[in-house]
């Protein structure tokens, strides 16, 4: 097996992941030598068609079919399945010199490719990023696809059917684009408000994140493609993401991030789990026996396969024996660990044949289970994408995701307004999206020039869906735009307008954390100046996650629109005008300052190189993540988890609760007491009356989003999973519910309880899966 020179490999990975330009590689003095990965030996492709083979009988279950085909496979064929290639001609990261053989059978400019085995009818695995739609690696000719709002936005809908519909839509575009594996299902809990990838995830609560992501995965897989769930696990910051070592106790992890993954796994049944870049308790995630073998495969009974993140494999023997099933994205790793080296390790007895069988079995099982054999890909069929229908799916998601944070009556926009000034964030032409490997490119190209200085995770993409044009189409007022760069002139224009709508943006992207929680580029000063000139100022935020709002008291209304996707401009305008009544609620606490958070200063100095091993201590907060931390410490956030206003009003009443099954069921009535149709998110928190060793005073136990016409009411019954009433016991691997009284609190946010009842629970011990 050949191997690229270490320096060149390192430069290659750094260039991609740290946005180092190719010119800089030159200055590093790296000599880029041609290198071809040790591809497994050529396999017979000319054998008779496999259609009549017994494993092609779709009436058999996935496990039986897997066993049948596995028996026919040679060692070389099994090895072929466990080794994936980056499917992009990565000249952009090598300065034009080829460092690896780009597998031309994969879809161009995509995340990955694992060749099929035609003699056995095993299809190729064609992999695309990511959670908001079909992405393209940076390319002059990106595929143009529908983008959902960011993951955190979908979590803000608190609507599992919206998450499912979004997943089903992007999965259908993936299939029609020639992909049968979608690298979606991002869901690391929001422990770090500055995390550059918070936009890809589902907020801070295990139940909400698990339900939303699980439903998205289910939707994707309804297209007979495999979805991942990622990045497993505890990948909550980008700073030094390749080496940071996260310390956390088993119990705390099982009650927080791992619980979120456990719920999503049960709901979505992803065919694959992507292990993360970071280390956990001293071991890289992709060779972490506790995470992969113990928790995921043994305790949860996960039958699918673990694929590495791109560049997250660090060994052959340790990775194989500790639970990694497929090395991804060659040539991101330092070595082709699962190619020739794995064969050698097996032949020398360091990895058993049985383990190779297990790897192949898991991959094949996921492929059978998701119908990849029965539903072969047919190359690029993107002309068949129903862009109008898909546009409606993303627009609905965006509309349900927008959170009305504050409103002193300025919204919906008054019909009497004659002049509206729109300021900032290119709101005249488009809406923002998040950067990195998940980047989906829109039909029509970038609405505004790329403002990111160089390389990955750029470009900074504004989708051509203009909030301003969509608003103008709905109002008789004259609508004008200023970019806000001349603060004095903007304030002067604001003073003359009937209404000012300032757009504030925070672009975030993979590989970079936000430096702080302020809006960048001096936007806070612009908003303050505008609000002082005209109190009739509405702020629309397009951010990756929580931000602070030093101008909050001076403005009349605030909408959090997140990254709202390719129909985001339309969605924002419809919410501004009241055509859509806002119903989003925060899936994460907005702190008043970084000083309130567990880590005011981020661990892991980005200036350290790959050989340094920075640490971060998640036992500081343990499972006390987000609102639980704020509750525990008695801190008042800027906006609490679960918060979201409406243009109508709701009442919550009639709460009753009882022990039911192993958990609790709660029933209540939601009434629309206002004059407009709308949807409310009723939240049920649970809390032990006497101390039961919980990580926090209360936990979200269940929620229901209820749509109601004015004057109408509806009864909802929700159930609380027993694990949310228990503590995890690491020694016995059981969940224990302590006997006693538990408060069941009906609330409109984590800090606004409406009513509460008490339920007595008997002592219970449940297995590791809450059964
Ligand atoms: C990201 C993954 C992504 C992969 C393939 C990595 O840099 O962390 O989320 O799926 O690249 O593009």
H, E, C per residue of 227-289: EEEEEECCCCCCCCCCCCEEECCHHHHHCCHHHHHHHHHHHHCCCEEEECCCEECCEEHHHCH
What CA–CA distance (Å, rounded) separates 359 from 326?
Answer: 7
Is residue 770 within 8 Å of residue 721, measured between CB atoms? yes
464 Cα distance to chain centroid: 23
Nearest atom in ligand 1 to the alpha carbon of residue 186 is 9
437 lines ligand 1 (CB under 6 A): yes
**Of the given ranges (343-347, 688-692, 709-713), which has the lowest mean pLDDT?**
688-692
Q: What is the pLDDT of residue 14?
A: 38
Q: What is the pLDDT of residue 729?
A: 98
The helix/strand/coil state of 331 is coil
Residue 84 alpha carbon to ligand 1 centre in Å: 13
Cα dihedral angle (186, 190, 192, 198), rounded to 10 degrees? Answer: 40
Residue 201 alpha carbon to ligand 1 centre in Å: 13
What CA–CA distance (Å, rounded) separates 180 from 125?
Answer: 6
Q: Indicate the helix (H) or strand (E) that contains 523.
A: helix 523-533
Nearest atom in ligand 1 to the alpha carbon of residue 200 is 9
N- to C-terminal Cα distance for the chain? 48
Mean pLDDT, the chain, whole residue set: 92
99 lines ligand 1 (CB under 6 A): no
Is residue 690 within 8 Å of residue 668, measured between CB atoms? no
Residue 737 in tokens: 């519910």
Sheet of 734-737: strand order equals 727-729, 734-737, 764-766
The closest residue, in CA terms, to atom 2 on ligand 1 is 309
What CA–CA distance (Å, rounded) separates 572 from 467?
Answer: 6
pLDDT single digits (tens) 492-535: 999 999 999 999 999 999 999 999 999 999 999 999 999 999 99
What CA–CA distance (Å, rounded) separates 93 from 20?
Answer: 9
**C-beta neighbour count of 264 within 10 angstroms:** 27
pLDDT above 70: residue 32: no
Residue 309 alpha carbon to ligand 1 centre in Å: 6
Q: What is the pLDDT of residue 692?
A: 81
Give me the helix-helix angle, 387-401 and 568-577, nearest 10°: 50
**C-beta neighbour count of 378 within 10 angstroms:** 10
pLDDT single digits (tens) 87-98: 987 654 444 444
* Phi, psi angles (nearest 5°) of residue 359: -60, -50
276 lines ligand 1 (CB under 6 A): no
Q: What is the pLDDT of residue 322?
A: 98
333 lines ligand 1 (CB under 6 A): no
The pLDDT of 417-439, averaged and rounded, is: 98
The closest residue, in CA terms, to atom 5 on ligand 1 is 111
The helix, strand and coil proportions of the chain, stated in percent and rounded to the nearest 5, come to 30, 25, 50
Residue 275 alpha carbon to ligand 1 centre in Å: 10
Question: What band does 6 get if pLDDT is binned at 50, 70 and 90?
Answer: very low
Nearest atom in ligand 1 to the alpha carbon of residue 230 is 9
The DSSP code for 123 is P
Q: Which residue has the tokens 């956030």?
A: 637
**C-beta neighbour count of 445 within 10 angstroms:** 11
Q: How do 110-114 and 83-87 pair as beta strands?
A: antiparallel
Residue 437 alpha carbon to ligand 1 centre in Å: 6
Residues 179, 269, 219, 438, CA torsion sign: negative
24 Cα distance to chain centroid: 31
| Closest residue by Cα to residue 669 from 643, 704, 642, 702 | 704
What CA–CA distance (Å, rounded) separates 470 from 642?
Answer: 29
Cis amide bond preceding 566, omega within 30? no
Give me the helix-helix angle, 487-496 and 523-533, nearest 10°: 30
The pLDDT of 404-409, averaged and rounded, is: 98
pLDDT above 80: residue 20: no
The helix/strand/coil state of 183 is strand
Question: What band does 454 get if pLDDT is binned at 50, 70 and 90?
Answer: confident
**Of the given ranges (1-10, 200-209, 255-264, 306-315), which has the lowest mean pLDDT?**
1-10
The DSSP code for 413 is P
Q: Quick one: residue 419, left, alpha or beta (phi over 0 = left, psi -120 to 50 = alpha)?
A: beta
How far from 252 is each of 212, 238, 346, 373, 625, CA to CA, in Å? 22, 21, 36, 40, 10
Q: What is the pLDDT of residue 3?
A: 33
183 lines ligand 1 (CB under 6 A): yes
Residues 212, 213, 216, 222, CA torsion sign: negative
Residue 310 alpha carbon to ligand 1 centre in Å: 6
Is residue 414 within 8 Å of residue 475, measured between CB atoms? no
What CA–CA distance (Å, rounded) separates 313 from 565?
Answer: 32
């Amino acid at each position: 097996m050949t191997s690229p020179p270490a320096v060149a490999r390192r430069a290659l990975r750094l260039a991609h992941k740290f946005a180092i330009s190719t010119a800089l590689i030159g200055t590093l003095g790296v000599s880029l030598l041609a290198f071809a990965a040790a591809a497994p030996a050529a396999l017979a492709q000319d054998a008779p068609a496999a259609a009549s083979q017994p494993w092609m009988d779709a009436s058999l279950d996935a496990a039986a079919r897997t066993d049948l085909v596995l028996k026919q496979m040679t060692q070389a064929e099994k090895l072929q399945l466990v080794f994936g290639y980056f499917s992009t001609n990565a000249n952009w990261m090598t300065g034009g010199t080829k460092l690896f053989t780009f597998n031309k059978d994969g879809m161009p400019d995509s995340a990955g490719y694992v060749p099929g085995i035609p003699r056995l009818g095993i299809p190729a695995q064609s992999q695309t990023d990511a959670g908001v739609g079909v992405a393209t690696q940076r390319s002059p000719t990106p595929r143009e696809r529908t983008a959902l709002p960011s993951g955190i936005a979908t979590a803000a809908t608190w609507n599992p059917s919206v998450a499912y519909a979004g997943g089903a839509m992007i999965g259908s575009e993936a299939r029609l684009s020639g992909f049968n594996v979608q690298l979606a299902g991002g869901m690391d809990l929001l422990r770090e408000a500055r995390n550059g990838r918070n936009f890809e995830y589902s907020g801070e609560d295990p139940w909400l994140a698990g339900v939303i992501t699980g439903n998205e995965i289910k939707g994707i897989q309804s297209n007979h493609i495999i979805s991942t769930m990622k990045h497993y696990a505890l990948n909550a910051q980008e700073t030094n993401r390749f080496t940071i070592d996260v310390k956390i106790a088993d119990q705390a992890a099982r009650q927080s991030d791992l619980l979120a993954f456990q719920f999503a796994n049960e709901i979505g049944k992803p065919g694959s789990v992507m292990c993360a870049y970071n280390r956990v308790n001293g071991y890289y995630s992709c060779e972490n026996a506790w995470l992969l073998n113990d928790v995921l495969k043994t305790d949860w009974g996960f039958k699918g396969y673990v694929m590495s993140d791109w560049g997250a494999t660090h060994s052959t023997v340790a990775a194989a024996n500790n639970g990694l099933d497929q090395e991804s994205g060659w040539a991101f790793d330092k070595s082709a660990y699962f190619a020739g080296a794995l064969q050698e390790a097996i032949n020398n007895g360091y990895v058993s044949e049985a383990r190779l069988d297990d790897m192949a079995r898991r991959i094949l099982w996921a492929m059978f289970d998701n119908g990849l054999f029965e539903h072969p890909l047919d190359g690029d069929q993107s002309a068949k994408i129903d862009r109008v229908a898909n546009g409606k799916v993303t627009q609905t998601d965006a509309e349900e995701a927008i959170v009305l944070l504050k409103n002193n009556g300025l919204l919906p926009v008054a019909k009497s307004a004659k002049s509206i000034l729109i300021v900032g964030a290119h709101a005249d032409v488009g809406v923002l999206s998040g950067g990195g490997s998940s980047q989906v490119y829109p039909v029509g190209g970038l609405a505004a020039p790329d403002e990111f200085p160089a390389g990955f995770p750029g470009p900074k993409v504004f989708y051509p869906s203009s909030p301003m044009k969509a608003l103008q189409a709905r109002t008789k007022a004259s609508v004008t735009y200023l970019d806000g760069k001349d603060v004095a002139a903007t304030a002067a224009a604001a003073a003359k307008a009937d209404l000012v709508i300032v757009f504030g943006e925070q672009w975030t992207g993979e590989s970079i954390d936000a430096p702080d929680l302020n809006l960048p580029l001096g936007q806070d000063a612009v908003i303050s100046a505008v609000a002082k000139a005209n109190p009739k100022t509405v702020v629309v935020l397009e951010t990756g996650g929580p931000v602070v709002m030093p101008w909050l008291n001076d403005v009349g209304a605030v909408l959090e629109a997140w990254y709202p996707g390719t129909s985001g401009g339309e969605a924002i305008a419809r919410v501004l005008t009241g055509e859509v009544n806002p119903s989003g609620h925060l899936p994460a606490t907005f702190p008043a300052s970084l000083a309130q958070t567990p880590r005011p200063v981020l661990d892991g100095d980005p200036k350290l190189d790959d050989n340094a091993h920075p640490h971060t201590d998640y036992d500081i907060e343990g499972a006390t993540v987000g609102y639980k931390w704020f509750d525990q410490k008695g801190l008042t956030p800027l906006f609490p988890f679960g918060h979201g206003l409406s243009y109508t009003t709701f009442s919550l009443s009639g709460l009753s609760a009882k022990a039911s099954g192993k958990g609790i069921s709660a029933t209540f009535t939601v009434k629309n007491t206002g004059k407009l149709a709308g949807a409310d998110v009723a939240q049920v928190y649970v809390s032990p009356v006497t101390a039961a060793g919980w990580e926090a005073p209360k936990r979200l136990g269940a929620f229901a989003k209820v749509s109601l016409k004015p004057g109408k009411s509806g009864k909802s019954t929700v159930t609380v999973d027993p694990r949310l009433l228990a503590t995890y016991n690491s020694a016995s691997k059981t969940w224990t519910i302590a006997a006693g009284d538990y408060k069941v609190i009906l609330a409109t946010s984590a800090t606004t309880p409406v009513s509460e009842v008490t339920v007595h629970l008997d002592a219970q011990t449940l297995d590791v899966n809450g059964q």
